[in-house]
Structure 1
Amino acid sequence: MIEEKKFDYNSLIGFVLIALILIWMLYQNAPTEEELIERAKTEQVEKAADTTTTPAETPATPVVTETTTQEPASDSLRMEALKNQLGSFAYAATLPSATEEVTTLENDILELKISNKGGYIVEATLKKHKTFDSIPVYLIKDGNADFNLQFQADNRLLNTRDLFFEPSLTQSGENTILSMKLKASENQYLEYRYELKPGEYMLDFAIQTQGLNNIINTSNPAEALWQLKAHRKAKSISYENRYTEMLWEYEDGKDDYLGQGSLTEDDARDVTWIAYKQHFFTSVLLTDTPFKTAHFTSENLVEDEEIDSLYTKNFVSKFPLEFKAGELSYTMNWYYGPSDFKILDGYERNLDEIIPLGWGIFGWINKFLFMPLFTWLATWITSYGIIIIVMTILIKIALSPVQYKQYLSQAKMKILRPEIEEITKKYKDNAMKKQQETMKLYSKAGASPMAGCIPALMQLPVFYALFMFFPSAFDLRQKGFLWADDLSSYDSIAELPFYIPFYGDHVSLFPILASIAIFIYMMMTTGQTMQMQQQPGMPNMKFIMYLSPLIMLVFFNNFASGLSLYYFISNVITIGIMLVIKYFVLDEQKILAKIEEKKKQPKKQNRFQRKMSEIMEQAEKQKQIQEQKKKK
């Protein structure tokens, strides 16, 4: 039988009683009003302690009354301090642009960064070029440059490098314009204006003022300073430093430069451009209004060539900017780019003088002969090593008639050698008579020792011009050939664990090959002279024969491999031409027959020869008279 469940009233009464008991207990344990006040105080103290120890977690609540009374006072004091320091230009320091932020100005080949502080270029990057260790070419970076104007304003001496400019970047067609204004108010300012065009290394630059004639002391010029520490960019710091220099143009087209001393200075007037050349890269400041005067300083920063240096030279130029009608107004240009003759010459500002192609006739030969020839060959040949070889062959072929004359003279002297030796023995005690008879022999035979020197001297301008050309050819930079990875630098095939003075810490192969070729050439040309009896006062030809290759080996070890390649190929071709002339062109028997025929012909002396003969005869008579007096 199933028991039916019924509602249990006793259980319900029990639950109600328990609930009532709990409520009563809570009521009895509730804190009094005094206890609540005390607990609140305790919690407030603990909260204050937490706020003091962990301000980041619980920020303090600002007191409105203190803020509203202190901030205006702080701003007022700051503004007063700025005015005491900067005068009217304190306004510029209160603008949002009063930071060291930079504005980028760039095109497809050049990137410039201009800082608000100072308003000048603090970074200049050539986008399409790398250094020897494959990093971008920075002409300006990491504080290595400075451009500053110093002037008097409100009885204070101010420097723009310490002041803040307000940037404004705009476009004018394809050109990008950056205006940097150092403001004394919204309508009173000093402005640097930069304008960069597409595909250009040169940018327009202007310095101008507006409404500052009552602020700046315009009775004295503003003193401008441009400084640059030249970054190292080549493998050989000694070689790069040799071509790193400061140049300038002055007085309507004249140009000058500072030498390679440890510290050199110079002054110039009416300067139209200043260039800081770093072998293959150059920074130039040009002005339409010449600087009335300028002072230049160049300091060599490479104290020890064995130690890798970050900088090569420190350049500083100082020049005044004069006020006209109370304002500054100078139209200028900046150039940051390659030391490339074609690019610099294209600006038609005489900037091609920056490239050291040689002075006088040497520069003319390079500009109007070798430069066009090199450029023309580059349009047909892609390998610059082959271009050097072809160019050398063409030059040697052009000079081969001169070399033929030189070798012909040497052949005549070789044939006359027995007779000259006989004269020397016969008149060994009478130098004057020996000289007379020797000259008679030369005259009858139609030979002259100077005939071999003149062709050699005629070739010197060509050799020196090429010596200047190859190290300055920008197109050779980072162009490889055979084992040389850069024809504008040395071609190292082995690194030495030590440094040899004048030689370096590596071994270059092209100078070794060139030295061998020069030695063989010297053996062929001086061997005949060495076989002749050494005349008093004549240089030791054997010494010269060994000295020339040694100079090539030692000093050209750090030179451009393109130059060493030229000397190697040039001497190899010269040796080949001499062998061809000797064995296939000249016939010594025919030369001897012509000499004998000339001896038989009556020789007429010109006025100069007659005069020289008379002088020598008189000298001989005077000598005989003196000897007779000594005997008495």
Structure 2
Amino acid sequence: MDRNQITGLVLMLALMTIYFQFFAPEVPEQPVEQATIETTTPAAIREAEISTPVATGVDDSLTSAIYKERYGIFAPFASGEEKEVEIENESVKIILSSKGGVVKRVELKDYLTYEKDPLILIDRNSSTSDLLLMSNYKAINVSELYYHTQHSKLEVSGTDSLSVSFRVALDGGRYLEHKYKLGGTGFQLKYEINLVGMDGVIDNQDAQLTWVDHMKNVEHTLKESRAKTTINYQPIGGDFDDLGISEDAETENIEQGLKWFAFKQRFFAAALIAENKISKATLSTYVDTSDSTTVKSGTAVLTLPIGDLKTGKGQFQYYFGPNDYTIQKKVVDGFEQNVELGWFVFRLVNKWLIIPIFNLLEKFISNYGVIIIILVFVIRLILAPLTYKSHMSMAKMKVLKPEMDAIKEKHDGDMQKSQQETMELYRKAGINPLSGCIPVLLQFPFLLAMFNFFPNSIELRQQPFLWATDLSTYDNVMNLPFTIPFYGDHVSMFCLLMTASTLLYTWSNSQMNTQMQGPMKSMQYMMPIMFLFFLNEFSAGLTFYYFVSNIVSFGQMALFRKFVDEDKILKVMEENRKKNANKSKSKFQLKLEEAMKAGEVQRKQGKKKK
């Protein structure tokens, strides 16, 4: 090709480009049906849209060729009309779709959003699932196919159950089936994937199920909801775990397989549980901070054993429901851990004490504010022996205070001698210096367990009491025109009452506690002030509980003081002194004195260096 020919071709291309850009007639748009498939990358989740052309009279043959290329033997089922099947029991209303044979929409009947709208846990806009099968060494998304079903609307209640089947049948003996079974009550939907007679059609390569859930915002505070939203999972042969609550993108690969996983929000969960196992999984979460309608987005890419699907063992169950401990502990082992009850010790207290008492009170009382008040009295009654022992220890210290002050004055400036003589006073009087601390420490698990119980108790959700409209979140009596760092932009009255009562109780308690002196006496007031900032955005049920607990503690203190006879305590101590006059020191006292001596030596050496 010479130079003139090349120049001519370039000019022709330029003229054609100008023509099609400015003068060519517009081509009418063809309707396009889109399905979104999402996959997971190590850094984040990316979306890719795949368009499926719709056949018209003009391009039937082209469309058929495209379908044949994309779906192989399943090409005849690539087009059709979507049919919805509505199934319903006493707890949930679920819409299934014949396109893909998937769950399209789930409504929880006994719950509402914060705006008092029906609570739609998932729908087609927020949740998608795709099942990929290998046929003739090519991946086919069978969730894009149109399935046949004979049902339209079914309802069940009580002990009955209903079943719905979606099939793509190549012939009488070969078909792909999605089968669902719903009981009359509860939030569990049984799900089967059956590949019947498909040995020559579907390759012996594991299937891949991808479920993407953009978890909908249904609560009052988006910030609090995001802090409680993650993916929980139970590995095969491993311990319960989660992806964490960070707003950064999180990804976890589970090679040993899964028993179940859950898109877990603060009060609700959408989960898939395997009767056998999920071979492998990649779980991911991320947050779009610009989207206030979505709490967090999660993706689960699951590898399903193809042998199970071909032999009738592809059995699973969905859970669409509340994070209610009583309900979830009946689903599958470990599933109740979707309800956050705290670290091991706190979880034990909540599991074996708080929740049973709370559930018992629920049976007889409908007002949750009253339940909280009664719960306070029950817990304070259980802890009364420990509280009394701590109070008696402070009373003994108060009786000895004159002698302790005399020792300090006698050895002014010599801390070691002052401490030794004080310990000798304790020994002769028959007082264990730790007797006041141990009862307080033993009460801590009970007190701190409430920090997990109340904020995560779905029973308190949208339950009003006094001025609080919802005991599961903070009571807002005033919106501030500005934001105070660490405090927020609102005023919680229960939090203020709790703080004021805690300060008053601390002051009253310090009148009895003679051991606390100097800066420590002032420092004890810092904790209530910190709680004012820390708990302002916490559950109103929690701050109300601690407020009532403080009031009951005042009553206990007044009652104990009536039973404490200081003259009698002094008389007992005098008798102990006579008994212990010639008694040798215990090993604990000797070790304590050695530690005190070592500390004093280090203090003096530090002064010399200066």
Provide TM-score, normalisation by structure 2: 0.81
Per the TM alignment, residue 606 of structure 1 is displaced from its structure 2 partner at its CA by 5.6
After TM superposition, list the pairs within 5 Å mapping 1:38-53 onto structure 2.
none
| Whole-angstrom CA distance in 2 between matches of 1:153 and 1:610 | 79
SS at match of 2:406: helix
CA contact (8 A) 1:245 1:258 kept: yes
* From 171, 188, 206, the counterpart of 1:221: 206
* From 301, 304, 310, the counterpart of 2:293: 310
1:587 match = 565
SS at match of 1:238: helix
| Whole-angstrom CA distance in 2 between matches of 1:193 and 1:199 | 19
- Consecutive unaligned residues in structure 2, runs of 5 or more: 1-54
2:47 match = none
2:120 match = 138
2:210 equivalent to 1:210: no
CA contact (8 A) 1:167 1:180 kept: yes
1:570 match = 549
After TM superposition, list the pairs within 5 Å mapping 1:158-237 onto structure 2.
158-169=140-151, 174-182=160-168, 187-218=173-204, 220-237=205-222
2:338 equivalent to 1:354: yes
After TM superposition, list the pairs within 5 Å mapping 1:612-631 onto structure 2.
612=591, 615=594
Post-superposition Cα deviations, 1:446-501, rounded to whole Å, max 9, x if no partner, equal 22432111111111111122222222322222222111122212222222333334
Post-superposition Cα deviations, 1:6-29, rounded to whole Å, max 9, x if no partner, equal xxxxxxxxxxxxxxxxxxxxxxxx
| Whole-angstrom CA distance in 1 between matches of 2:202 and 2:208 | 13
1:122 match = 104
CA contact (8 A) 1:227 1:316 kept: yes
After TM superposition, list the pairs within 5 Å mapping 1:335-374 onto structure 2.
335-347=319-331, 349-374=333-358
After TM superposition, list the pairs within 5 Å mapping 1:380-399 onto structure 2.
380-399=364-383
CA RMSD of aligned residues (A): 3.2
CA contact (8 A) 1:530 1:541 kept: no
1:479 match = 463
Per the TM alignment, residue 443 of structure 1 is displaced from its structure 2 partner at its CA by 1.1
Post-superposition Cα deviations, 1:399-446, rounded to whole Å, max 9, x if no partner, equal 122111111111222232333333334444444333322211211122
| Whole-angstrom CA distance in 2 between matches of 1:182 and 1:261 | 42
- Consecutive unaligned residues in structure 1, runs of 5 or more: 1-69
CA contact (8 A) 1:79 1:90 kept: yes
| Whole-angstrom CA distance in 2 between matches of 1:590 and 1:607 | 26
* From 266, 269, 278, the counterpart of 1:279: 266
SS at match of 1:203: strand
CA contact (8 A) 1:432 1:616 kept: no
2:90 match = 108
CA contact (8 A) 2:479 2:490 kept: yes
Per the TM alignment, residue 234 of structure 1 is displaced from its structure 2 partner at its CA by 1.6
Residues 1:601 and 1:195: Cα distance change in structure 2 (over 3 Å): same
SS at match of 2:198: coil
CA contact (8 A) 1:112 1:123 kept: yes
Per the TM alignment, residue 514 of structure 1 is displaced from its structure 2 partner at its CA by 0.8
CA contact (8 A) 1:244 1:313 kept: yes
Residues 1:624 and 1:121: Cα distance change in structure 2 (over 3 Å): closer
2:423 equivalent to 1:439: yes
Aligned residues: 546
Post-superposition Cα deviations, 1:558-586, rounded to whole Å, max 9, x if no partner, equal 2221111111100111112112222x111
SS at match of 2:186: coil
| Whole-angstrom CA distance in 1 between matches of 2:604 and 2:542 | 59
Which moved further from structure 2: 225-234 or 129-138? 225-234
1:548 match = 527
| Whole-angstrom CA distance in 2 between matches of 1:323 and 1:255 | 26
Post-superposition Cα deviations, 1:284-313, rounded to whole Å, max 9, x if no partner, equal 21111111222222324457xxxx821112
Residues 1:502 and 1:153: Cα distance change in structure 2 (over 3 Å): farther
Q: Whose Rg is larger?
A: 1
Per the TM alignment, residue 388 of structure 1 is displaced from its structure 2 partner at its CA by 0.8
Q: Which has the higher helix share?
A: 1
2:393 match = 409
1:298 match = 285
SS at match of 2:502: helix
CA contact (8 A) 2:395 2:512 kept: no
2:70 match = 85
2:333 equivalent to 1:333: no
2:132 equivalent to 1:150: yes
Which moved further from structure 2: 145-154 or 164-173? 164-173
CA contact (8 A) 2:420 2:593 kept: no
| Whole-angstrom CA distance in 1 between matches of 2:63 and 2:200 | 24
Residues 1:445 and 1:137: Cα distance change in structure 2 (over 3 Å): same
1:64 match = none
1:258 match = 243
| Whole-angstrom CA distance in 2 between matches of 1:622 and 1:496 | 54
After TM superposition, list the pairs within 5 Å mapping 1:520-559 onto structure 2.
520-527=504-511, 533-534=517-518, 540-545=520-525, 547-559=526-538
Residues 1:108 and 1:581: Cα distance change in structure 2 (over 3 Å): closer
Which moved further from structure 2: 556-565 or 165-174? 165-174
Provide TM-score, normalisation by structure 1: 0.79
Amino acid at match of 1:124: V
SS at match of 1:129: strand
* From 295, 304, 308, the counterpart of 1:321: 304
Post-superposition Cα deviations, 1:155-206, rounded to whole Å, max 9, x if no partner, equal 4333334333333428799533222234556654332211112223111101
1:34 match = none
CA contact (8 A) 1:176 1:196 kept: yes
Which moved further from structure 2: 480-489 or 516-525? 480-489
SS at match of 1:193: strand
CA contact (8 A) 1:113 1:122 kept: yes
CA contact (8 A) 1:92 1:182 kept: yes
